[in-house]
Amino acid sequence: MRDGDHYVVTGQKIWTSGAHESDMMYALVRTGSEGRPQAGITFLLLDMKSPGVTVRPLITINESHMVNEVFLDGVRVPVENRVDEEGKGWGLAGSLLAGERAFAADLPHTMRDLKELKRVAALERQGARPIIENPLFRAKLTRLEVNIHALHFAMLRVLSANSEHELSAVATLKMRGSELQQRVAELLVEALGDYGLAFYPDPFMRGYEDVPLPPGPQYASGAANNFLFRRAFTIVGGSNEIQRDIIAKRVLSL
């Protein structure tokens, strides 16, 4: 609602990453109801210290605090904090979502995790032999590595096409990238065997610096934490079910 030189914002947003540490957040707020629903959305920059802003922490399954629920109760936002024109926020949101989804594929991190997985699988033993020599495990690892390299080339094609993060291409990268991140984390826990069953806190996670680690190799630390954390990756930035809908409509015309 517009009130002179301010917008008065009331609403709620969930899964807001880093809200407890942020000075500002952006909000897509409804300022009009005429025409298409998207036409009434306005993009505002909101001071987190404003009266009426409440941040409630959400502790995730890996016992970390990264996401939050934000409540806005009559928060006054100066008109000068509006980005672009009133009612033009949906177009800006689309660009931001495309960037977020491309980032969520996080290929460099996945390739680094794959390298660590291969190292651990060569060190951990199953009987007298390293687990990497187990035919069933090696088949899983090989399939995973092929899929990661396929995603790498797909990402290079999108970048070389200079398509400005065309929505269906980005949806594909996000969907496959997030699933492969989960698969790498899952295989690492499997390679660790009994050590992968315990919750090893990530030594780099705030609040766990002084927590003693259970018995086991140093490289087991953080593996279960990472596995649990990455369960969210097929949801963040638009769930993978939404990405499949985008591909079905834009690519397959279904």
How much is the pLDDT for 59? 87
Q: Does one domain contain both 234 and 146?
A: yes
Written as tens digits, the pLDDT of the chain (254 aa) is 789 999 999 999 998 989 999 999 999 999 988 878 778 899 999 999 999 999 999 988 777 788 999 999 999 999 999 999 998 998 888 778 777 777 778 899 999 999 999 999 999 998 899 999 999 999 999 999 999 999 999 888 877 765 554 667 888 888 999 999 999 999 999 999 988 877 666 655 666 666 666 677 888 888 888 898 888 889 888 888 988 998 888 888 88
Q: Does one domain contain both 218 and 123?
A: yes
Q: Does one domain contain both 232 and 209?
A: yes
How much is the pLDDT for 68? 95
* CA separation for the pair 203, 192 (Å, rounded): 17
- CB neighbourhood size of 230 (10 A): 22
Q: Does one domain contain both 196 and 118?
A: yes
DSSP states along the chain: -EETTEEEEEEEEES-TTGGG-SEEEEEEE---SSSGGGGEEEEEEETTSTTEEEEEEE-TTS-EEEEEEEEEEEEEEGGGEESSTT-HHHHHHHHHHHHHHHHH-HHHHHHHHHHHHHHHHHSEETTEEGGGSHHHHHHHHHHHHHHHHHHHHHHHHHHTT-SS-HHHHHHHHHHHHHHHHHHHHHHHHHHGGGGTS----TTSTT-TTPPPPSS-GGGTTHHHHHHHGGGGGTTTS-HHHHHHHHHHHTS--
How much is the pLDDT for 183? 97
pTM: 0.80
Name the domain boundary from 62, 87, 112: 87
How much is the pLDDT for 243? 86
Q: Does one domain contain both 143 and 48?
A: no
* Residue 205's CATH number: 1.20.140.10
* Residue 42's CATH number: 2.40.110.10
Q: Provide the domain limits for residue 183.
A: 93-250
Q: Does one domain contain both 131 and 230?
A: yes
